[in-house]
């Protein structure tokens, strides 16, 4: 009990934020920040919160706007009623999280900080540092903006 707690508190006070980020396996890039990511349950809760007055979740709304961009159907098909879309959106999120290889807290030029998680195929998801779901991501491409990330 007490000795273990004291030891953990001492370790945590010594490693500082940069050490905590390393323990969390967060990547460090030019735009990286030293912020810790929001708690994971908060991220899932934000994804599953209701989007405005409808029955779609915030995550499903983002998924329905995004999934058509990938001709390989990585994100799945966008069809069915709102409950089906909500279920498919959470499955798409889970697909990225189950194969996550890239975690980064970074600053988007002129915008708020972002937590970005990508899987081995380059697809990803983003939340703001305060835990709001921002959307799905396509793999990086040289001509991504010109093609509106369709591939």
Does 151 reside within a domain? no
Residue 84, phi then psi, degrees to nearest 5: -65, -45
**Residue 102 structural domain:** 2-137
Does 32 reside within a domain? yes
Does 149 reside within a domain? no
Does 130 reside within a domain? yes
Taking only the tens place, the pLDDT of each residue in 5-59 is: 776 667 666 666 566 555 555 556 666 667 778 888 999 999 999 998 789 999 9
Q: Among candidates 51, 54, 12, which has minimal Cα distance to 133?
A: 51
Taking only the tens place, the pLDDT of each residue in 51-98 is: 987 899 999 999 999 888 888 899 999 999 999 999 999 999 999 999
Does 13 reside within a domain? yes
Does 82 reside within a domain? yes
The CATH number of residue 130's host domain is 3.10.450
Number of structural domains (the chain) is: 1
**What pLDDT score was predicted for residue 17?**
59
Please tell me the pTM assigned to this model: 0.76
């Amino acid at each position: 009990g007490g000795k273990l707690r004291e030891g953990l508190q001492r370790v945590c006070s010594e490693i500082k934020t940069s050490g905590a980020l390393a323990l969390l396996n967060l990547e460090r890039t030019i735009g990286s920040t030293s912020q810790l990511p929001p708690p994971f349950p908060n991220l899932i809760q934000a994804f599953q919160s209701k989007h405005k007055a409808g029955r779609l979740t915030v995550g499903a709304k983002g998924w329905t706007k995004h999934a058509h961009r990938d001709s390989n159907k990585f994100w799945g098909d966008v069809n069915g009623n709102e409950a089906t879309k909500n279920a498919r959106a959470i499955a798409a999120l889970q697909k990225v999280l189950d194969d996550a290889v890239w975690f980064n807290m970074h600053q988007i030029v002129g915008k708020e900080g972002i937590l970005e998680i990508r899987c081995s195929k380059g697809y990803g998801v983003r939340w703001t540092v305060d835990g709001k779901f921002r959307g799905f991501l396509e793999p990086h491409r040289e001509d991504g903006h010109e093609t509106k990330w369709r591939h």
